[in-house]
Amino acid sequence: MADMPALLATWEQKFRPHPDGAELPAHHDHCLGCGPDNPHGHRLQARRQGDGVAASHAFDERHVGAPGIVHGGAVATVIDDLYGFLLYLVGTPAVTRQLTVDYLAPALIGATYHLEASVTGREGRKLFVAATLTAPDGRSVATSTAVFVTVGVDHFGRRGVPSLDA
């Protein structure tokens, strides 16, 4: 399991300014959404796009629900993780408090989708965010909104899991 203080240090480094278009670093190596070392993960690669973030992403057979169709939870995972990249631009850690997804059309295994996310508002500790997932032909496949709540980095180090709390 990850060394928590080292992980926290890398996380703080991720809040540096990222130039427009730059690929953004994974949240951590084993992150389900974007970690390169998670064998079950999506390995999402996101980039800054103006004041928001964007990604191109293809789901694979590990993420199937109905035959040929991406599991709705997998779609939600990728969208939730994309929101996580917005935090680098906002400059503070935050966690998902509420996530909604409207599934407008089936997402298909193997097709490459375009995702975008942006911050739509901020009120105290709450960040309001929105995302879209668009098919290669331009059709809107899913839209989402979420409420993130800002937390201190200590939030990630007190879960009662010995290997994390050490």
With binding defined as CB under 6 A, does residue 41 bind ligand MYA?
A: no
Rounded to an integer, what distance in angstroms lies between the CA atom of residue 95 and that of residue 93? 7
The count of C-alpha atoms lying within 13 angstroms of the C-alpha of 106, restricted to the half-sphere facing its C-beta, is 12
Between 86 and 135, CB nearer to ligand MYA = 86
With binding defined as CB under 6 A, does residue 7 bind ligand MYA?
A: yes
Total count of residues recorded for the chain? 166
CB of 163 to ligand MYA, least distance (A): 14
Between 24 and 80, CB nearer to ligand MYA = 80
Q: Which amino acid is at 42?
A: H
With binding defined as CB under 6 A, does residue 35 bind ligand MYA?
A: no
What sign does the CA torsion over 49, 52, 58, 61 have?
Answer: positive
Pair 73, 33: CB distance under 8 Å: no
Closest residue to ligand MYA, judged by C-beta, is: 84
**Would you tell me which residues interact with ligand MYA (CB under 6 A)?**
7-8, 11, 27-28, 33, 80-81, 84, 95-98, 124-126, 147, 149, 151, 156
